[in-house]
Amino acid sequence: MIATAPENVMRGLVLLWIVVLCAVDLTVKYLVATYLMNPPRILAVAPFFNLILAFNPGISFGLFSETMALSPRLFAALQGLIVLALVLWATVSKTVAERFAIATVAGGATGNVVDRFWNSSVTDYLDFHAFGWSWPAFNLADVLIVSGTLVLVIVSMRQENNAIATREP
């Protein structure tokens, strides 16, 4: 199937969005690690929020850190395949909201993949805590992944509700 000119423009915008989000994520990680956290320390921003410098060799929340530390670039390559699938999905999705939600997930995931490939771990710097509880440190890429996923779920629910509402009895 040959894509129309507006379709090609939309695909280009989706790819540009992914590249921009990845670049912003990697830039923030670089600035935090090189300037803000040199030397490494805890910067208290609010009573519930610190900036820190942490390196996560594992997957989400540090799971499987020992296993992933053995071959971080292999793990980055596997993550890269998942990102490629997300990019393809984003370029063929039906709605603009769905495309950009998936692209937001892909942009964040790409930032983490590149970081893992370069540094053998993912750079985390956001640390939230309250009442003796602490959330595992995370970064902008993680925020993009979660927010893109939430938007995708909302868009999917709205599409499903619209499909149900337009069915004939």
Q: Hey, which residues are catalytic here?
A: 124, 142
Q: Is the peptide bond before 39 cis (omega within 30 degrees of 0)?
A: yes
Calculate ∠ Cα 36-42-43, nearest 5°: 65
Calculate ∠ Cα 51-57-61, nearest 5°: 60
Distance CA 67, CA 35 (A): 30
Distance CA 102, CA 46 (A): 32
Residues 6+ apart with CB under 8 A from 51: 32, 36, 37, 42, 43, 45, 125, 126, 127
